[in-house]
Amino acid sequence: MSTVAFHVFSPKKLQSGVVFSSPHSGAEYTQSFISQSILSAHQIRSSEDAFIDQLFAAAPEFGVPLLTAVAPRAFLDLNRAHDELDPALISGVPRKGQNPRIASGLGVIPRVVAQGQPIYHGKLSMAEAQNRIDSYWTPYHSELQRLLRQAHRQFSQAILVDCHSMPHEATEIVGKRGGHLADVVLGDRFGTSASTEVVDQIEAAFVAAGLKVSRNTPFAGAYVTQTYGRPSRGQHAVQVEIDRSLYMDEVAIEPNSNFSAFQDLIRGVINEISRVGSKQTSLAAE
């Protein structure tokens, strides 16, 4: 695995308090990691937010930074706390109170990928788990904190847009339950990680692009939004989940014929969202 823990794409001049991040688009699968796994090189990619970093690559053009992962989600999950360690996977981790993410195999070092497919033959050592955290988790989150402090210092507010993708079947399940079938799900942890005004404006950017949007169902946001969303301090965090079928072949994990057009559409969304963070409005005081 590379010693580079993240990539940050910065604008020539910061023009907005918005920060885009993509913690699950890392795609550096080393042969040593794949050889540890019982999955094929293709199967192990099933939980990756493939191409999300490419969809949001235009962020610096509009005066805002984009932070992206290097390590794949199957190797290390940046949207988990560093201490969400799975005793079923990592030797020496004590069993304690029930954490549903850990119990399902989705701790900071995942035990499974999509559809609950196990990644490994057996357990990992605590030393290996800690090395992954020290090498990738800690630098990524240190950089994210730096970008948010920079935004807040210059614009008196910071708006983190944490970018993800969701399987199309996730939207179908919601539809079958009588819910709103959405192209995009915004997660603000039911109003606790961002002000209503910020989320309304982010939603409006996607709606103006012709996309159907819902909030918090089936994804309300995880560690990143919970940790960095502090609207009372002028720091907002919103998770964005985009239906993968809109731009990729989910089985082949390849861009589909609509990818370029959808990338152009998202470029317009980025432009609108970046303007939200450039407004010196009541958002900074909330």
In this structure, is residue 249 part of a structural domain? yes
Across the strands, what pairs with 22?
68
pLDDT 10s digits, 88-103: 999 999 887 778 999 9
Compute the distance between CA of residue 274 and CA of residue 255 in angstroms, rounded to an integer: 26
In this structure, is residue 227 part of a structural domain? yes
pLDDT 10s digits, 224-279: 999 999 999 999 999 999 999 999 999 999 999 999 999 999 999 999 999 997 76
- The mean pLDDT of the chain is 93
Distance of CA 68 to the CA centre of its chain: 9
- Number of domains the chain contains: 1
In this structure, is residue 42 part of a structural domain? yes
In this structure, is residue 18 part of a structural domain? yes
In this structure, is residue 113 part of a structural domain? yes
| pLDDT over threshold 50, residue 283 | no
Global confidence as pTM: 0.93
pLDDT, mean of residues 274-285: 63
Domain coverage including residue 239: 6-285
In this structure, is residue 1 part of a structural domain? no
pLDDT band at 175; cut points 50, 70, 90 = low
Judged by DSSP in three states, 253 sits in coil
CATH of the domain at 120: 3.40.630.40
| pLDDT over threshold 70, residue 199 | yes
In this structure, is residue 89 part of a structural domain? yes
Q: Which residues contact 234 (CB under 8 A, 6 or more apart)?
A: 152, 156, 157, 158, 283, 284, 285, 286
Strands 254-255 and 184-187: unpaired
